Amino acid sequence: MITSPTNKRIKEIIQLNQRAKARRERDVFIVEGVKMFLEADVERMEEVYVSESALRQLSEACKQKLAGLPFSYETVTDEVFRKISDTQTPQGILCVVRQYHYDLEKMFEVANPLLVVLEDIQDPGNLGTIFRTGEGAGVTGVIMSSHTVDIYNPKTIRSTMGSIYRMPFVYTTDLQETILELKKKNIATYAAHLQGTKFYDECDYKKGTAFLIGNEGNGLQEETAKLADTYIKIPMEGKVESLNAAVATSILIYEAARQRRC
């Protein structure tokens, strides 16, 4: 059992939680909680830590998965687990998992892809919610600008509720060039924009579709928005000007999902 918060491995976990650079260098990320542990691919796990008290209370499913790991998990004191946890109420189980790497070209190979393109999203909760809702609506991939918050931020990971394991995604250093690539692949691009000329439910999303979503405070950059085939907007009542980025994305992708079911 690890009892000291100054243990070398414990210090490394803390760094992985706090620093994107550390995660990139090791090519791993941290997941916490029973649900995330149970859904994680054992072949991608590198380390597992369980608190002393949680070990006595884990479900049978957790115990079976722990017993089947190809390596030994570490037991730590409750105090040490609180040091490595990024949550207010730790569930007592934490994993180090290898990062995912996807190919943008393979996103284009899907028949009638449904893509979300994000420019400089900054809130980890927004990004995680977009992944979670995207999976539910049948989104086939998420494309992000290089200044979008780190998908492996612990808060983002928690907000995905497991969708991080299943939703293909890429970061691009040149978002505008990537949008041009989408257009070359005959993927229709729709910018969520206050100057939208059409309401979101007036367009046809049954063929290849990409929704462009901008930064929470500033929206899409003008140069990026100009690349879209169509500006769309969500009708607003009262004095509300716009919606949260994750909420707006959810509305758009579920309209696409509705049309594709018909």
CA separation for the pair 57, 172 (Å, rounded): 43
Residue 197 has pLDDT above 90, yes or no: no
| Residue 183 pLDDT | 95
pTM of the model: 0.94
For the chain, give the percent of residues with pLDDT over 70.
100
| Residue 31 pLDDT | 97
Asked if 170 and 182 count as a contact pair (C-beta separation under 8 A), the reply is no
Q: Which tens digits make up the pLDDT trace of 96-126?
A: 999 999 999 999 989 999 999 999 999 999 9
Domain boundaries, given as residue ranges, for the chain: 8-98, 104-261
| Residue 241 pLDDT | 81
Residue 70 has pLDDT above 90, yes or no: yes
Instruction: Give me the sheet containing 141-145, strands edge to edge.
Output: 169-172, 141-145, 114-118, 209-213, 188-192, 230-233, 198-199
Residues in the chain: 262
| Residue 107 pLDDT | 92
Residue 232 forms beta bridges with which residues? 192, 198
| Residue 181 pLDDT | 96
Residue 242: pLDDT band (50, 70, 90) is confident
- Between 262 and 15, the higher pLDDT residue: 15
Q: Per the structure block, which two tokens stand in for 211?
A: 């929704």
| Residue 240 pLDDT | 84
Neighbours of 109 (CB within 10 A): 10
Residue 217 has pLDDT above 90, yes or no: no
| CATH code of the domain made up of 104-261 | 3.40.1280.10
Q: What is the mean pLDDT of residues 12-39?
A: 97
| Residue 22 pLDDT | 98
Residue 194 has pLDDT above 90, yes or no: no
C-alpha dihedral, 190 to 133 to 140 to 94, nearest 10°: 140
| Residue 172 pLDDT | 97
| Domain range 8-98, CATH class | alpha beta
